[in-house]
Structure 1
Amino acid sequence: RLGTRRTMLRRHDMNLPWINHTALAARKGVYHVGFLNKVKKILESVCTNCGKLKADPRTDPRIADVIRFVKDPKKRLAIVHDICKTIRVCQVDTPEAVDEREAPRDEQGNIIPKPEHHGCGHIQPAIRKEGLKLLFVNQRVSEDEDNGAKVKTDDRKNLPASAALLILKKIPDEDLHILGLNTEEARPEWMILTVLPIPPPAVRPSVAVDGGSLRGEDDLTYKLSDIIKANQNVRRLEQEGAPAHVVDEL
């Protein structure tokens, strides 16, 4: 009386309303409006080239304090983002002299190497959000031809969801833990859509029109139809070799 019995769900002649999906054009990815701000925070916290955390947790005491004392994932992401967003160069490891007499050794007597950050030293651009888009902003300094004064200009470059997806996939699991993300249930690359879920008709039933004499489709069905048509147009343009700015307009 309180629901469907398990034996009924095992019957093969029942059409259960499972959720389906459709692959987005070229599976490049689309920003999810609900996760756009969080994706921006994560991208500002890691290197856009190698995916490592900008700050070295082995040398930066602020990151070490976050690991030790901050257990709330939301607070951890906010604090680490505040630390890393102003760093403009991915930190590299500096070689240190090791005293072999005091160095830790394993059971075979071999020296245990010290953990390293493995940063790449890449210069980091600023990331800006405009509407539903993310932009790379690099500041350039040039001289004015008239008076010789230095002029700062911003070089803006669109950051497509496909490029953001590649960066998020490079983040190591240990850095995801420092950022407060769950490697099993909340990986950052999952915050970018590569497929579109299609709910079953039970979620979007037909509606009565003109007092109930006619039936019409739900608004959600019409919107899904528009998205699928736009997705087909994007796939067609990509197959025809259309310029990137034409594809981005769709």
Structure 2
Amino acid sequence: MVFSIKRAATCALVLSLAVPAAAAAQDSASFFKVGTASVTYGPYVRFGLGAARTRPSDEHWLPPGYPSDPRIDFNLSNDTSGFGEIAFGYDWMNGFRGDVSFLTTGSAHTTGPHTTSGDHADITSASVSTTAVMGNLYYSPFEQMGVNSRLHPFVVAGLGYANNKVSDWTRTSTATTPVNRTFSGDTHGDVAYSLGFGLAYQLTPPGKHPAILEMSYRYYSFGTAKGGSTPLTGSSTPVDPLSFENDAHVLSINLRIPLQRL
């Protein structure tokens, strides 16, 4: 008898927690219920344009005299650059869709002072751009709940490979008279990943072939970017050239068009 009473009390507690949670989910779904969408399973193509704010981290080089000379660290900053993307994917219309995207960022000017104590040179001229291929998985929670709306929030995660291209780069010392030392550029490939979220809105009315507008924010980690080691103006070859982790914050607008007819 005691066991039955305890089990009944436990079930009542679970129900008391589950009912408000379900109600909250339904309220959230109702908030995003905007019109009725045209449902199209299958393949799609997606085009995107936006702006990328790249942010280097772990910026450094190992000078020709390393390890007798110390590693030199920098505090680099980048200009905002453009962003473009094309993707081909498949929508299962159950809350999940996936695509493979090909993307590129514009060339972002990269400069910054050294942060290592002592008399060292700053990075006064460089730029970085990236091309990448990414596999992306999207999840729309209210679509999975069966909400047929023209408006859907989503989250997205991606994994892929990036080529980071660094231009010729220049170090300038201003301790006495300015001295510029320039090295060649280079391209370095690395594993890339991304995380983000956004909103998708069907532009076309019900019954018409859908065209979906997406607005999204995504964080990308494009891996390591490296300059070249070849001196272009008189200087010794560094042990390790200018190197940094190349991350980007991207705001973009995308147009997604299902390829299967209604």
TM-score, normalised with respect to structure 1 = 0.20
Structure with the largest fraction of strand: 2
Structure with greater helix percent: 1
**TM-score, normalisation: structure 2:** 0.20
Query: More relative contact order in 1 or in 2 (CA 8 Å, sep 6+)?
Result: 1
